[in-house]
Amino acid sequence: MEITLNTKNKIHPLKMYLYVGLGSIVMIFAGLTSAYIVKKSQANWLDFELPKVFFIATVVILLSSFTMQMAVKKAKEGLQNPYRSFLTITAILGVVFMILQYQGFMALQANNIALTGARSNSAASFLFVITLLHLLHVLGGVIAIFGVRFKSLSANNNPENTTPVELVSTYWHFVDILWIYLFVFLQWIG
């Protein structure tokens, strides 16, 4: 169809939309981690160790990227049932990740490190705000996965159109990579 766009540009407009959008999400976290670095160099900074459960969460989200990629592969092969199963597994792993992050917050609280409130130190508050915002992005991804999963069951779904699942998988890999960055930052750099 010649009307829509220049044939030289092969990227789907919505993919371009997503890529630029990911850039702006990067800026949210770039802003926060820069503020973290500035704040860390000032007085009254509390050093503490990350609870081990964050390591487990990291493994879980890495694994979910793998299952997401399998889902895309099955979708492209036209295998609808395995495709849906991999989507479900990915979403479940996403939920597990969120639960583990929550456990991490609880573990910090148990160590008497307040995340918010009068006794809180901004070191812990930063960790909380940054991971919480990431968590919300993961939640958005889980919702999107369920969205494409249930859409694939609807009557007017075209199995050959893999663009929606490709968009979701790009986003999912992005939140995965974002978490790796944040984890490395919080664990070793910050």
Partner 1 sequence: MSHEAALHNHEGHESHGHDDHGHHEHHDTFLTKYVFSQDHKMIAKQFLITGMVWAVLGGLMSVLFRLQLGYPDSSFPWLESLLGKWAKGGQITPAAYYALVTTHGTVLVFFVLTAGLSGTFANFLIPLQIGARDMASPFMNMLSYWFFFTASMVMLSSLFVETGPFSGGWTAYPPLSALHDASPGSKTGMDLWLISMALFVVSSLLGGLNYIATILNMRTKGMTMTRLPLTIWALFFTAVLGVLSFPVLLSGLILLIFDRNFGTSFYLSDIFVNGVGALSNEGGSAILYQHLFWFLGHPEVYIILLPALGMVSEIISVNSRKPIFGYMAMLGSLFSIAILAFLVWAHHMFVTGLNPFLGSVFVLLTLLIAIPSGIKVFNWLTTLWRGNIRFTPGMLFAIGFVSLFISGGLTGIWLGNAALDIYLHDSYFVVAHFHIVMGVASMFGMFAGVYHWYPKMYGRYLNNSLGYLHFWITFAGAYLIFWPMHYQGLAGMPRRYFDFSIWESFKQFADLNRFISTVAMIVFATQLLFLINFFYSIFKGRKVTVLNPWEANTLEWTTPIRPGHGNWPGEIPEVHRWPYDYGKDGHDFIPQNTPVGEDETGTH
Contact between 111 and partner 1 per CB under 8 A: no
Contact between 189 and partner 1 per CB under 8 A: no
Binders of partner 1 in range 15-74 (CB under 8 A): 16-17, 20-21, 23-25, 27-32, 35, 38-39, 42-45
Binders of partner 1 in range 156-185 (CB under 8 A): 161, 163
Query: Distance between CA atoms of 80 and 12, rounded to whole angstroms?
Result: 23
Nearer to partner 1, 52 or 151 (CB): 151
Q: Is the dihedral of CA 67, 169, 106, 29 positive or negative?
A: positive
Contact between 1 and partner 1 per CB under 8 A: yes
Nearer to partner 1, 93 or 174 (CB): 174
Residue in 118, 155, 156, 188 binding partner 1, rule: CB under 8 A: 118
Query: Distance between CA atoms of 172 and 182, rounded to whole angstroms?
Result: 15
Give the footprint of partner 1 on this chain (CB under 8 A). Answer: 1-7, 9, 11-14, 16-17, 20-21, 23-25, 27-32, 35, 38-39, 42-45, 116-122, 125-126, 129, 133, 161, 163
